[in-house]
Amino acid sequence: MTAPITAIRTRAHRFALRRPWGPDVPDIRVISVEVHTADGEVGRGFTWTPSIGATAVRALIDDDLTAFLVGRPSTPDEWDAAWAHLHEAGGGGITTIALAGIDLALWDLQARRAGTSVTSLRGRLHERLPVYGSGVNLHYPLDELVAQAERWVAAGLQAVKIKVGKPSLAEDLDRVAAVRETIGPDRRLLVDANQRWDGDAAARAIPALAAHDIGWIEEPLRADDLAVHRELHRRIDVPVALGENLHTVHRFRDFLDADAVDIVQPNIIRVGGITPFLRIADLARERGVVLAAHLLPELSAQIAFTLPEQTWIEDVEDAGFAQLGALEHPILTASDGWVSGGPELGLGFDFVGGGGGGGGAPSR
């Protein structure tokens, strides 16, 4: 029988972004999580959010999840019971972000018990995966955006993603054209509107952007509005990518049932951890749609290495944990547009105290 959980301890970290993602996103917040068991073992995980909500997430872990999970078995199989327990506070969002910290710690613990990594525990199917360059760059002047694209080309990346959604469509078109010219005709160019348009604005902008051979349009509309996504998908020919703001397998199924999406992009933290992410990956495979994990390459790649299909890994420039100096030891190796490697034990997330604001005191 698996040893029960005896304690859950958290620590808050704040890591300043090298270049803010906007005036309201100067840093990322990490809550590192330790799950302690009756046999003296410790699993380590984390949860994450850009600037907003970390205090509430930590409180859910420290108060509600700890009270519920202490005394229960220390396995990822506890996810459904924990989600049902938190559901009164919301089926997804802050609740699933909090659950992710526990779920990752329990996967880490399970792998450590087996003397291996989570990737090896699940069964590694890929030694390396392709990376696409990404940037939160809508606020970059055009020359800086082009310079970023030049760095991606120099790094050997075969796909890149930029933000669109300027007040003027003409400015978006100029920026996309400049990046396309910089990267050449053979690399994939992806664009992300980050929910900035309504249905009519999206229907005008996307065909115009398509003249520059864009591979997908990401989050063209407010993620909550399924009906408008369904109508937009009917009106355009460019593949629609979304999912970073969908929080449960049920919501992903809703969008797939509505024929509103072509590429699903679950964020492992936002959906509640590895356990629900794998269910979403299974759903995508069943429906025959592409899966591209959102952000967090040090985590996403470890799980994507175990999926049957080859999955692109998103790498936001200068925003990975390694680039921010957030980790005691690097987890992955990146070279010539590919990512490989991984930890020997567990998930390998050993965070430093926290730059740009410092770490908080542990609880419980």
- 65 and 212 in one domain? no
Domain range spanning residue 157?
Answer: 120-341
Of 13, 161, 163, 233, the active-site residue reads 163
- 127 and 100 in one domain? no
Q: Does this model's pTM top 0.85? A: yes
Whether 250 is in a domain gets the answer yes
pLDDT, one tens digit per residue, over 49-73 is 998 999 999 999 999 999 999 999 9
- 203 and 79 in one domain? no
Banded pLDDT at 266 (limits 50, 70, 90): very high
Q: Give, as one character, the DSSP assignment of residue 173.
A: H
Whether 359 is in a domain gets the answer no
The 42-49 sheet, strands edge to edge:
5-16, 27-37, 42-49
- Please provide residue 297's backbone torsions phi and psi, each rounded to the nearest 5 degrees: -60, -35
- 202 and 156 in one domain? yes
Closest CA to 153 of 337, 13, 25: 337
Q: What residues form DSSP beta bridges with 242? A: 264
b/e burial code for range 120-132 (CB count within 10 A of at least 16 → b): bbbeeebebbbbb
The confidence score (pLDDT) of residue 240 equals 98
To the query of whether residue 161 is one of the catalytic residues in this protein, the response is no
Q: What residues form DSSP beta bridges with 188? A: 159
The confidence score (pLDDT) of residue 1 equals 74
pLDDT, one tens digit per residue, over 120-176 is 999 999 999 999 999 999 999 999 999 999 999 999 999 999 999 999 999 999 999
Strands (DSSP E) found in the chain: 5-16, 27-37, 42-49, 128-134, 159-163, 188-192, 214-218, 240-242, 263-264, 290-291, 313-316, 332-335, 338-341
pLDDT surpassing 70 at residue 356:
no
To the query of whether residue 166 is one of the catalytic residues in this protein, the response is no
Whether 192 is in a domain gets the answer yes
- 292 and 152 in one domain? yes
The confidence score (pLDDT) of residue 348 equals 97
- What's the CATH code of the domain at 203? 3.20.20.120
- 127 and 80 in one domain? no
- 146 and 95 in one domain? no
Banded pLDDT at 360 (limits 50, 70, 90): very low
The confidence score (pLDDT) of residue 51 equals 84
The confidence score (pLDDT) of residue 359 equals 38
pLDDT, one tens digit per residue, over 203-251 is 999 999 999 999 999 999 999 999 999 999 999 999 999 999 999 999 9
Closest CA to 105 of 113, 94, 204: 113
How many domains does the chain contain in total? 2
Mean pLDDT of 164-190: 98
Residue pair 300/314 in contact (Cβ under 8 Å)? The answer is: yes
